[in-house]
Amino acid sequence: MNKRKVINAVIMTLSTLSALLGLIFLFWILWTLFSKGINAMGINIFIYDTAPPGVKETGLRNALVGHLLLVMVACLIGIPFGIMAGTYLSEFGKNSKYANFIRDLSDVMMSAPSIVIGAFVYAILVNPVGHFSGWAGAVALAIMMIPIVLRTTDDMLSLVPQTLREAAYALGAPKYKVTMQVVYRGAKVGMVTGILLAIARIAGETAPLLFTSFNNNFFSTDLNQAMASLTVTMFNFATSPYEDWIDLGWAAAFILGAFVLFVNIVGRVIIKKRGRN
């Protein structure tokens, strides 16, 4: 008993220290991001586009709008495809070999490096047309989004009790109405949570956009051309030798970090509410 107590105390101590170490680095990162980013924030960030070094009227308007467009288009592509694929796996494919193969492939795609996805989209959408485009960037983000939404939808729909489906069938409801009006309603909280987490994932990606939408120092909403994004602008400015650009890079990092943190918190709150219900 004494030996077991000693081993238990040692493991508990090491686990606690590891958790504290992780929290220290987390709060260190958040504090650095907040302290440097908040000092660079101002109204100019939202009303001016990026300008050459030394110009006072400079901001991140073009990057903010461009990033918002890329994420919105990626959501319009990725969310429907992910939900439909997850619905097929849960409601139609069940445990067939084909469905299990898709699940395994989805798991592989979720862990695939984002830069590999960017290189793939570059090969099929950028290289053939000869120029970067916002569409290519949105497709790259959508490809990263689909496996997350697919897997979450599949898992959440499988948690809906089979008795609800059988009751709806007994009332004469066809398969599509059972899925749309019964199964989706029972799993909507989990599905929304998965969508939010997928949005948080793609919103912070830089590598695939370097290969696809690249960047643009001017305000543009034309998805057929290269488009500015907050992550690529942050990368370029944070590594530049100019102090004003470095400040803009920290401001971009602060905005992006706050957005991702907010979306993750909302997702966690929804999960907790679902657990209580």
pLDDT level of residue 63 (50, 70, 90 thresholds): very high
Domain residues for the domain of 34 are: 2-40
Residue 208 one-letter amino acid = P
Whether the CB-CB separation of 217 and 49 falls below 8 Å is answered with yes
Q: Give yes or no for residue 151 having a pLDDT over 80.
A: yes
Both 75 and 164 in a single domain?
A: yes
Q: How far apart are CA 59 and CA 57, in angstroms?
A: 7
Mean pLDDT on 102-123: 92
pLDDT level of residue 1 (50, 70, 90 thresholds): low
Mean pLDDT on 10-37: 93
Both 13 and 141 in a single domain?
A: no
Please state, for a pLDDT cut of 90, what percent of the chain lies above it: 66
Q: Give yes or no for residue 126 having a pLDDT over 90.
A: yes
Residue 138 one-letter amino acid = A
pLDDT at 263: 86
Both 28 and 156 in a single domain?
A: no
Domain count, the chain: 2
Both 65 and 20 in a single domain?
A: no
Both 144 and 30 in a single domain?
A: no
Both 104 and 33 in a single domain?
A: no
pLDDT level of residue 95 (50, 70, 90 thresholds): confident
pLDDT level of residue 276 (50, 70, 90 thresholds): low
Both 106 and 219 in a single domain?
A: yes
CATH number, domain of 227, equals 1.10.3720.10
Q: How far apart are CA 207 and CA 265, in angstroms?
A: 25
**Residue-wise pLDDT tens digits, 228-248:** 999 999 999 988 899 989 999
Whether the CB-CB separation of 252 and 233 falls below 8 Å is answered with yes
Please state, for a pLDDT cut of 70, what percent of the chain lies above it: 97
pLDDT level of residue 272 (50, 70, 90 thresholds): confident
Both structure tokens of 238: 């944070």
Whether the CB-CB separation of 211 and 119 falls below 8 Å is answered with yes
Mean pLDDT on 251-274: 83
Q: Give yes or no for residue 275 having a pLDDT over 60.
A: no
Both 32 and 59 in a single domain?
A: no
Average pLDDT over all residues of the chain: 91
pLDDT at 260: 86
Both 9 and 55 in a single domain?
A: no
Q: How far apart are CA 210 and CA 215, in angstroms?
A: 8
Mean pLDDT on 196-221: 91
End-to-end CA distance of the chain: 41
Both 115 and 131 in a single domain?
A: yes
**Residue-wise pLDDT tens digits, 138-149:** 999 999 999 999
Whether the CB-CB separation of 206 and 231 falls below 8 Å is answered with yes
Q: Give yes or no for residue 193 having a pLDDT over 80.
A: yes
Both 34 and 50 in a single domain?
A: no
In terms of pLDDT, which residue wins out, 271 or 83?
A: 83
Both 111 and 142 in a single domain?
A: yes
